[in-house]
Amino acid sequence: DQQVKQNSPSLSVQEGRISILNCDYTNSMFDYFLWYKKYPAEGPTFLISISSIKDKNEDGRFTVFLNKSAKHLSLHIVPSQPGDSAVYFCAAVGFGNEKLTFGTGTRLTIIP
């Protein structure tokens, strides 16, 4: 099941710079997308979401962009901070459904 893909297993970014995490999906029935952050030995923590009727949603240092025609979304973190070092999961859900379909995650490391 490769409906949600995160092609970069890891990413390293200097503190203070922008982190860009990418996610692609194949199922055109997905209409709501979420980003979760996960620290070791903890559960996924909700960060930010976007509905398919929008192309951008911003919350503080976090911005999610959605390109429906390309079936692509990205999470921008600016400025990046050491506490942002974690695994980031993209997830998607279809209209009327409840289950989240997750990507494989991207491990983000912020270098001080």
Partner 1 sequence: EPEVTQTPSHQVTQMGQEVILRCVPISNHLYFYWYRQILGQKVEFLVSFYNNEISEKSEIFDDQFSVERPDGSNFTLKIRSTKLEDSAMYFCASSDQGFQPQHFGDGTRLSIL
Q: Which stretch binds partner 1 (CB under 8 A): 7-15, 18-26, 58-66, 91-99?
A: 91-99
Gap between the Cα atoms of 86 and 88, Å rounded: 6
Site string for partner 1, 60-89 (x = CB under 8 A): -----------------------------x
Q: Which stretch binds partner 1 (CB under 8 A): 14-22, 64-72, 78-86, 98-106?
A: 98-106
Q: Which stretch binds partner 1 (CB under 8 A): 19-27, 43-51, 61-69, 75-83?
A: 43-51
Gap between the Cα atoms of 28 and 48, Å rounded: 21
CA pseudo-torsion sign 18, 7, 87, 14: negative
Tell me which of 20, 22, 32, 74 binds partner 1, using CB under 8 A.
32
Nearest to partner 1 of 4, 108 (CB atom): 4
Quote the distance between the C-alpha of residue 23 and its chain's center.
7
Half-sphere exposure of 74 (CA within 13 A, CB side): 12
Gap between the Cα atoms of 77 and 61, Å rounded: 5
Name the residues that contact partner 1, by CB under 8 A: 1, 32, 34, 36, 41-46, 49, 89, 91, 93, 97-105
